[in-house]
Amino acid sequence: MAEDGFALLPGVLSTADVAEVAAEWVAVCGAFTGDEAILADADGRVSGARALLRLWPRVVGLARRPGLLGPLLEVLGPAGGVVRALFFDKPPGHGWALPWHKDRTVAVAAHGPLGRFTKPTTKAGVPHVEAPEELLQRMVTARIHLDDVTPENGPLRVLPGSHRGDETRPPVEVHCRAGDVLLMRPLLTHASGHCDPATARHRRIVHLECAPSPDLSDGYWWHDFVRLGLGERGA
């Protein structure tokens, strides 16, 4: 994590665990059909979702799995918690792509004074702002894979070391198995390619953004903060 800005944790979820989580996600989608937080096309194929802490509160339990909780708390510290949860998929025949970028946006309770926090937006009814780098440098994202990721289903590409400002190293394409978890720093430069048009693979990922503390500065508060170690939920 320190050198490259990312680390792959293999086998955090078993095959049975993955099937259970995937089935639970299908049930959540069915319960919230038409909700603005779920991104679906005219045929009902879901390619993403926001506000999972509202739609699917039990999703935080994934971060408390034995193979993930320890590494998260090691990186974040004992007061760490989940502050935002998203879902991504690339359904067969509906492959999207993202250019090179860093994740700078955080979900907050309300828009506040602009200064170190900038560019206020609202996404699925939730206020967001771009956070200062000193906060983003201490955050970590856990990407929990519900499918094998191969060259054919639009894998993530990362620039190792770019979270420290080093953009000179060659890109790495992240391939993994269902049940593996990728930890990455938000400031790691990353991109995502299109799927092979002939693939039958999904690329379902539960994306948990984690922060080291329930406290924010400059008159801001997290929209959600679910503490990892004790299971406490705070402002």
Q: What is the CATH number of the domain that holds 63?
A: 2.60.120.620
- Encoded amino acid at 126, one letter: V
Tokens coding 149:
């990721």
* Residue 63 placed within a domain: yes
* Residue 35 placed within a domain: yes
Q: Which residues contact 73 (CB under 8 A, 6 or more apart)?
A: 80, 228, 229
Q: What is the pLDDT of residue 193?
A: 87
* Residue 217 placed within a domain: yes
Q: What is the C-alpha separation between 2 and 17, in angstroms, rounded?
A: 29
* Residue 111 placed within a domain: yes
Q: What is the pLDDT of residue 91?
A: 86
Q: What is the C-alpha separation between 7 and 185, in angstroms, rounded?
A: 10
Q: What is the C-alpha separation between 108 and 64, in angstroms, rounded?
A: 23
pLDDT digits (tens, 9 = 90+) for 170-225: 999 999 999 999 999 999 999 998 888 889 999 999 999 999 999 999 999 999 99
* Residue 1 placed within a domain: no
Which domain covers residue 173, as residue numbers? 6-234
Residues in the chain with pLDDT < 70? 230-235
* Residue 154 placed within a domain: yes
* Residue 55 placed within a domain: yes
Q: How many domains does the chain have?
A: 1
Q: What is the pLDDT of residue 232?
A: 47
